[in-house]
């Protein structure tokens, strides 16, 4: 047991686990209280950057250095009441989720670039000092917000959405499911919600959003809006045998994607840091049962040996971005789970709201523009693939009746990649039809082809099985492989990406083919 547990720790230490779950709950709008209203007013009074020489616009600012920084804020929103905090960034703050050990995930060599920053100045305060980093290798949009206002709330809800549905792009397709996963059908009203803890004695809040969706035609005036509201934790009930409510909010951050916060949380994911939290979440999933060979093998393998197993488990596992042989802190892995919440309540006032233009040439007014050009996103599939399915049946060489079901892509997968602009080499891709998630018997295991963007596979049906129940409505798994061109500091140079997608299936007919020297008359039908 000790040996297996050690392997488990090695595999999932410092992983970010994103777990889709079914949760019951409701959203209630509560009344206003004076402290919340005061915080809301401050967001209207403080000034954003107007001076082109403001030091916050310096693209060469070295956030990775071990040093304290001055943050300038105003408790009242008045420039006559500016206060200064000298503090370390979250990577060097004790107890912060980003302070992950000696191999910190913060360095430019590992893909991080500065997108936005505002710590205020001695003459221009800001309500909540913040900065945003973007990881061009893993498409992480990381917001780090300092709770200088000492907001009186244990839990906060942060939503990331487009400012204007008329100016958008397919950047949030990686976390989407169903038809919204494709570039030509993304939801311009989509919101990505996360819940995090708030320390009223001042600390850094951290929100990680995935912007892996690549859209070469995203609107020049597209902008993202971050909005934070208070959550009334007194009404929340967690239906769990292994997690306390506080542990779930603080260490297994609930989140989800959708236009409705209630629906997103009720069908969303959790962000888990650390091997023990992953293990506890897995225990609550139907796939965490001892008799499930897939997860048993993953949990008892080294990291390098487990990555191929993650690929074979697509269907249960919904998405993954990480190193091929070495994990990075907070890697996204999404799979079916069962943590359940009820009674979620959000207080109505907005504590914080800021808008961020994605393009420095945007002509639409926003709070901030990027301090340097950024090529957002990694890849997308443009449209839902369609498979043509057919039957070949008859008596084989041994004069036994057979039925072969073949699925072949009607057209190559319309795949686009942004690797060159982000310092990556595209090493290849493959897809396969997930006919039976979790079933690793050879006849049902996912078969990944080697001719991407094309794919064809043939499966022999057993008695009573039809081509409809073999393929209709089944998802496909996509495996991507990238390599970082320049030397990295701590991150694996080889990046693996897994994601599932829906597909269309058209039945094109059947064909009788006998190879038996003297086939019996007629045939067998089921």
Listed residue (433, 429, 383) closest to 407, CA to CA: 433
Looking at per-residue pLDDT, the higher value among 94 and 30 belongs to 94
- Give the span between the Cα atoms of 263 and 416, in whole angstroms: 30
- Give the span between the Cα atoms of 47 and 397, in whole angstroms: 81
pLDDT of 346: 63
Q: 10 Å Cβ neighbour count for 509?
A: 8
Q: Which helix (H) or strand (E) holds 76?
A: none
User: Does residue 196 carry a pLDDT above 80?
Assistant: no
pLDDT of 463: 86
Listed residue (111, 346, 356, 320) closest to 225, CA to CA: 356
Mean pLDDT of 361-380: 96
pLDDT digit string, tens, across residues 286-296: 555 555 666 66
Q: How confident is the model at residue 81 (pLDDT cuts 50, 70, 90)?
A: confident
User: Which of 74-78, 278-282, 378-382, 502-506 has the least mean pLDDT?
Assistant: 278-282
pLDDT of 401: 93
Listed residue (417, 432, 356) closest to 212, CA to CA: 417
228 bridge partner residues: 158, 352
CB 491 within 8 A of CB 110: yes
User: Does residue 305 carry a pLDDT above 80?
Assistant: no
Strands 333-337 and 16-21, sheet pairing: parallel
Predicted TM-score (pTM) of the model is 0.87
- Give the span between the Cα atoms of 119 and 126, in whole angstroms: 7
pLDDT of 197: 74
Say what percent of the chain tops pLDDT 90.
Answer: 50
pLDDT of 369: 96
């Amino acid at each position: 047991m000790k040996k297996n547990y050690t392997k488990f720790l090695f595999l999932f230490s410092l992983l970010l686990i994103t777990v889709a779950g079914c949760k019951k709950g409701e959203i209630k709008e509560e009344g206003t209280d004076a402290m919340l209203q005061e915080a809301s007013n401050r967001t209207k009074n403080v000034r954003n950057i107007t001076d082109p020489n403001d030091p916050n616009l310096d693209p060469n600012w070295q956030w990775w250095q071990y040093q304290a920084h001055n943050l300038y804020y105003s408790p009242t929103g008045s420039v006559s009441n500016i206060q200064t905090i000298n503090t370390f960034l979250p990577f060097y703050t004790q107890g912060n989720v980003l302070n992950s050990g000696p191999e910190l995930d913060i360095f430019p060599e590992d893909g991080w670039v500065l997108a936005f920053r505002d710590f205020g100045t001695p003459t221009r305060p800001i309500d909540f000092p913040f900065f945003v980093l973007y990881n061009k290798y893993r498409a992480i949009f990381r917001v780090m917000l300092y709770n200088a206002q000492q907001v009186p709330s244990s839990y906060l809800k942060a939503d990331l959405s487009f400012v204007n549905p008329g100016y958008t792009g397919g950047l949030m397709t990686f976390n989407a499911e169903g038809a919204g996963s494709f570039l030509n059908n993304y939801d311009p009203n989509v919101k990505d919600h996360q819940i995090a803890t708030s320390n009223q004695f001042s600390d850094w809040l951290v929100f990680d959003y995935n912007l892996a969706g690549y859209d070469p035609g995203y609107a020049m005036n597209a902008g993202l809006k971050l909005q934070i509201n208070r959550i009334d934790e007194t009404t929340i009930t967690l239906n769990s045998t292994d997690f306390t409510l506080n542990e779930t909010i603080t260490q297994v951050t609930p989140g989800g994607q959708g236009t409705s916060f209630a629906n997103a949380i009720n069908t969303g994911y959790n962000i888990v840091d650390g091997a023990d939290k992953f293990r506890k979440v897995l225990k609550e999933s139907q796939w965490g049962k001892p008799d499930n060979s897939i997860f048993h093998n993953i949990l008892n393998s080294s990291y390098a040996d487990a990555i191929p197993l993650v690929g074979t488990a697509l269907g249960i596992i919904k998405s993954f971005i990480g190193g091929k042989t070495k994990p990075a802190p907070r890697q996204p892995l999404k799979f079916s789970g069962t943590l359940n919440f009820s009674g979620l309540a959000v207080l109505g006032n907005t504590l914080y709201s800021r808008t961020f233009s994605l393009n420095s040439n945007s002509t639409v007014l926003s709070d901030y523009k990027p301090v340097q050009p950024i090529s957002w996103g990694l890849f997308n599939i443009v449209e839902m693939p369609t498979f043509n399915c057919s039957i070949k049946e008859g008596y084989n060489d041994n004069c036994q009746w057979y039925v072969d079901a073949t699925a072949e892509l009607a057209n190559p997968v319309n795949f686009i990649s942004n690797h060159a602009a982000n310092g990556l080499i595209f090493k290849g891709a493959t897809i396969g039809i997930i006919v039976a998630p979790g079933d690793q018997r050879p006849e049902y295991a996912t078969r990944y082809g080697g001719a991407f963007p094309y794919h064809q596979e043939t499966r022999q049906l057993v008695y009573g099985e039809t081509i409809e129940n073999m393929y209709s409505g089944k998802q496909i798994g996509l495996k991507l492989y990238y390599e970082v061109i320049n030397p990295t500091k701590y991150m694996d140079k080889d990046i693996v990406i897994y994601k599932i997608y829906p597909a269309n299936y058209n039945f094109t007919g059947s064909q009788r083919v006998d190879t038996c020297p003297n086939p019996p008359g007629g045939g067998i039908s089921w």
